[in-house]
Structure 1
Amino acid sequence: MGAGFSSLFTGEDESSLSQLPVRPSLGDLPESCVASVIRYLDPPEICKLARLNRAFRGASLADFVWEEKLPPNYQILVGKVFGYLPETWGKRDIYERLCKANTLDGGTKIVWLDKSTGGVCLSISAKGLSITGIDDRRYWNHIPTEESRFSSVAYLHQIWWFEVESEIEFPFPAGTYSIFFRLQLGRAFKRFGHRICNTEHVHGWDIKPVRFQLWTSDGQYAASQCTLSDPGKWIHYHVGDFVVGNSSSTTKIKLSMTQIDCTHTKGGICLDSLVIYPSKFRERLKQF
């Protein structure tokens, strides 16, 4: 009765309805065609579309889709980070694994790809830096914290000669990069679930500026200086920028952060890490 009732309005019986052509759907598209389109999208968008159906998922696994997303020297990066390149890894597998926080040098360094752009990022913990007086607990201590990706920071009680240095050798892809020190005046902790920052011992940073410098093995040099401020906030202090022209070579960088005016002591500062990002992220980092 239901079919007959419906046919009063459509003017068609069941046999004519069954002969209507079936409209094609997204699932009917060939994987090669889908892959040719999604290759122009950003990685997060590709991963979202992979959930639509089997055709999009298959297309999202195509090597040529991810070949363009990977850094041009990805094979060198994989060798540096993992030590080997399994034959079973496709290009998407490589991209996915490089986007994770991959540790180097006993956990003192973390390297990863930015998920959206494929840009290479590197972070070095305070334990991976050369810090004057770090072994003397009268001056420095490594303290645990949830506010660092390395789970600890170096805290300075008081010192006359403040000097932090680092030498880096890494196969950065061609591009322009910015270097920052992540610092905080004061020591943060939690009380009854609330973040509190003790700034009682912060002193000496408003008298003279801190000087930042970088040198590269191909002759680049940059320097900057600023007075540290805003106690209780983690701030990325810009050291400078450098340019990599050859993706197949290793870039050597020397960095320093100093405040060596011995007319006064300085203290009460937390040093988390040194970070290197593609310069397109520079303004975003300065906001935090």
Structure 2
Amino acid sequence: IPTEMGASLSELEQQHQHPLGASLSELEQQHQHSQSQPKKKHHQPKEPPIKTKVKLRLSSTGKNLLLSPQQNIEPSRKVVQKGPAVKAKYETQSAQLSFPHIFERILRDADSPVDRSSKEKLFDQLHGGVYLHDKTKMYWVDKKTNANCFVLFPRALSITWAENPIYWKWIERNNEGLPEVVELKKDCWLEVHGKFDTRMLSPGILYEVLFYVKMKDPVQGWELPINVRLVLPGGKKQQGKVSLMEMLRGRWMEVPVGEFVACEKDGGEMEISLFEYDGGIYSYVGFVSGGIVIKPKE
């Protein structure tokens, strides 16, 4: 049907085609189709949450403890242990405060009275150390194993020519925790012996025996290794050699002699020795003895 302008409907459709080539009817269909489709929502990506860490300082150890907020632990909140954990904690504390082996008999030889007004005060002194026999020995209890430990200071040892000032010099060392040490001035004969009753030790504990020594400059005559020996009750021997020339100067060092498991049934007197007199031509200088240490092996 012709229009007033003289153009047919088909001609108008051709004149109003979409620039991309789509007719009006096609555009209407596309518009209706787009309205029928649900609109997609465009979400902007969220930034990942920032994970922070709470920094706690442990006043007792000075170490830092890093906790993640996911653990749901607040710095100011106390974590309360319940059930078996509490029981185990108290059992551990009780074990630490159980009385050590024959400690009453050992304390009879203490140089000064021991405070027994409370269990805590008693153990504070046992852990810190108690002098015995006019400061010739010291007794203490190891915190970890609750085992008896001892030091035999030089006055409790047998040292060849130790009372001769030409060869040996006795020195007070209260500032080092040692009542007295002995220094070898010059000698070609080194012989140190100690004796100890193993029945004073805690049964079932693996012990190590060590000489507590220091090498002091000028160090001379120690080209040959020295001998160390441990003779246990019953006659069993442990013997070896140690080079003192390899030790650091001016520091107290532990020279291992031997080790054994304490047994009350087979206990008795053991002998600990450090000696060297086979060289003959050497003149030893610079050796300082702090005594013998008997403690649980770490």
What secondary structure, in the 3-state scheme, does the structure 2 residue paired with 1:231 have? Answer: coil
Q: Give 1:52's aligned residue.
A: none
Give 1:145 deviation, angstroms: 3.0
- 1:138 to 2:166 alignment: yes
Give 1:249 deviation, angstroms: 7.1
- 1:150 to 2:150 alignment: no
TM-score (norm 1): 0.64
Q: Give 1:203's aligned residue.
A: 220
- Asked whether the equivalents of residues 209 and 228 of structure 1 are also in contact (C-alpha less than 8 Å), the reply is yes
Decide whether aligned partners of structure 1 residues 75 and 146 sit closer, same or farther in structure 2, where only a CA change above 3 A counts: closer
Inter-partner Cα distance in structure 1 for 2:160 and 2:109: 32
Q: Give 2:47's aligned residue.
A: none
- Asked whether the equivalents of residues 148 and 272 of structure 1 are also in contact (C-alpha less than 8 Å), the reply is no
Give 1:126 deviation, angstroms: 1.2
Inter-partner Cα distance in structure 2 for 1:250 and 1:96: 28
Inter-partner Cα distance in structure 1 for 2:270 and 2:296: 15
Inter-partner Cα distance in structure 1 for 2:234 and 2:212: 26
Q: Give 1:163's aligned residue.
A: 191
Inter-partner Cα distance in structure 1 for 2:285 and 2:257: 20
Q: Give 1:38's aligned residue.
A: 89
Paired residue for 1:252, among 242, 247, 269?
Answer: 269
Amino acid at match of 1:226: V
- 1:78 to 2:104 alignment: yes
- 1:271 to 2:289 alignment: yes
Q: What are structure 1's unaligned runs of at least 5 residues?
A: 1-24, 42-64, 187-198, 281-288
Inter-partner Cα distance in structure 2 for 1:108 and 1:231: 26
Inter-partner Cα distance in structure 2 for 1:75 and 1:264: 45
Decide whether aligned partners of structure 1 residues 83 and 235 sit closer, same or farther in structure 2, where only a CA change above 3 A counts: closer
Decide whether aligned partners of structure 1 residues 106 and 35 sit closer, same or farther in structure 2, where only a CA change above 3 A counts: farther
- Asked whether the equivalents of residues 191 and 273 of structure 2 are also in contact (C-alpha less than 8 Å), the reply is yes
Paired residue for 1:178, among 191, 208, 215?
Answer: 208
What secondary structure, in the 3-state scheme, does the structure 2 residue paired with 1:164 have? Answer: strand
Partner deviation per Cα, 1:73-94 (whole Å, 9 max, x = no partner): x3512221246999x7665454
Q: Give 1:10's aligned residue.
A: none
Decide whether aligned partners of structure 1 residues 105 and 151 sit closer, same or farther in structure 2, where only a CA change above 3 A counts: closer
Give 1:34 deviation, angstroms: 8.8
Identity of matched residues, %: 21
TM-score (norm 2): 0.62
What secondary structure, in the 3-state scheme, does the structure 2 residue paired with 1:271 have? Answer: strand
Inter-partner Cα distance in structure 2 for 1:90 and 1:82: 18
- 1:243 to 2:261 alignment: yes
- Asked whether the equivalents of residues 176 and 241 of structure 1 are also in contact (C-alpha less than 8 Å), the reply is yes
Inter-partner Cα distance in structure 2 for 1:83 and 1:150: 18
Decide whether aligned partners of structure 1 residues 37 and 161 sit closer, same or farther in structure 2, where only a CA change above 3 A counts: same
Inter-partner Cα distance in structure 2 for 1:181 and 1:215: 15
